[in-house]
Structure 1
Amino acid sequence: MEAMKIKNLYDLTQTQAASLLEKAEYPWEVLSEIGAFIKELGETLPEEEYEKRGENIWVARSAKVAPTASLNGPVIIGKNTEVRHCAFIRGNALVGEGCVVGNSTELKNVILFNNVQVPHYNYVGDSILGYKSHMGAGSITSNVKSDKTLVVLHTEDGDIATGLKKFGAMVGDYVEVGCNSVLNPGTVIGRHSNIYPLSMVRGFIPSNSIYKKQGEIAEKR
């Protein structure tokens, strides 16, 4: 459990959501509060740095947003971030500075720390992606179980009942997720870990690991 705490997954100096995350012990505990937090934070953003483009939509003036992208509030797009052609931001999305939200990528109820890249055909829902994490083309977070029951987080020390129906992935700083991988509901990935392409990931992956397949996780050297 200690390894899955916010303090061990994320550098809170690299997000505007620091004050929200500081209130919790585990990252999934704040998922239900993201939308309200964005509305509150948005009203405090300086007009010389952020433009309000609609109801509860704030976009940094230095950000590049393609005219074909769809932005639905509450949403904040950070400084020097690029939102590319046909990106679909459904709401409750706090996107940090220097991020890339790519073509046909969909975001919903998420926090993206600074310098996160979700650049090609990604779905990220009910998830938090840490500083400089990267999702390869086609990789997604699956946020609802097929039987619609509440998400349980599986660890070596036992199962953790989250009480949540929707819980995608808590991805630590500097994590690399390989192309066409699926992060199943209730996935937590520690800092500096790599996920092989075409992986099906579930449960907790320790920091500094290389995930090859279920049951085969190597420690980085």
Structure 2
Amino acid sequence: MVTINELYDLDHTLAKEYLQRFTYPWEALKGIHDFILELGPTLKDYQEIQPQVWVHPDAVLAPTAYLGAPCIIGPRTEVRHGAFIRGNALVGADCVVGNSVELKNVILFDHVQTPHYNYVGDSILGYYSHMGAGSITSNVKSDKTLVVVKDKEETIETGLKKMGAMLGDHVEVGCNSVLNPGTVIGVDTNIYPLSRVRGIIPAHSIYKDAENIVSKA
């Protein structure tokens, strides 16, 4: 339930061939920078509006948005006022990067929405996933130890000091929720507002709290 093939439809990202190199999505985090630098110059329909920043002509950029290199912004994506893209960001088609949103070392599949006051760092957000207003990914543990992905039955060492959240396709995260380091959320799962989420959350479920996760089936 935590592999790339289980979480994502790779036909909805420019990172398809890159992600196919790995088993787990967090394994791709270290190479996002170099991958974007390789991919950017090959994108025929994109414009390099500043060094190492490639933007599709159909994207809409607010004049107050900051686009740090390297990054790629896909067609019909809207980057709104006050957005802060720190770099190492691949943003797909038809996405929303909203006001006061900060992105850093991320892959956003097509149709991802981070519309209001979100921090998304060292994370991968699947097709049609949505971060409610004020929801964030926490990407560093308070004790600064390496992040571990775990649930009641499984523990996986990532070897990473920085890892936010892996959101499968069609995940809905409620407003003002915190996704703790190493969170993995399965496809078509809803997270209640004001949630504190940790570990592996099953696909096709509703997360009310850590002791109350119900199946949609």
State how far apart, in whole Å, the 1-side matches of 2:120 and 2:178 are: 11
Correspondent of 2:7 among 9, 17, 30: 9
Q: 1:215 maps to which residue?
A: 211
Give the 5 Å matches for 1:61-140. 61-140=57-136
Q: 1:20 maps to which residue?
A: 18
State how far apart, in whole Å, the 1-side matches of 2:139 and 2:211 are: 22
State how far apart, in whole Å, the 2-side matches of 1:139 and 1:89 are: 17
1:188 maps to a residue whose letter is: V
Unaligned runs of 5+ in 2: none
Give the C-alpha shift of residue 218 in structure 1: 0.3
The number of residues matched between the two structures is 217
Q: 2:32 maps to which residue?
A: 34
Helix, strand or coil at the partner of 2:115: strand
Q: 1:168 maps to which residue?
A: 164
Give the C-alpha shift of residue 216 in structure 1: 1.1
Unaligned runs of 5+ in 1: none
Correspondent of 2:42 among 33, 41, 44: 44
Helix, strand or coil at the partner of 1:137: coil
Give the C-alpha shift of residue 153 in structure 1: 1.1
Give the 5 Å matches for 1:176-195. 176-195=172-191
Further displaced range: 200-209 or 155-164: 155-164
State how far apart, in whole Å, the 1-side matches of 2:96 and 2:154 are: 36
Q: CA RMSD in A?
A: 0.6
Helix, strand or coil at the partner of 2:121: strand
Q: 1:158 maps to which residue?
A: 154
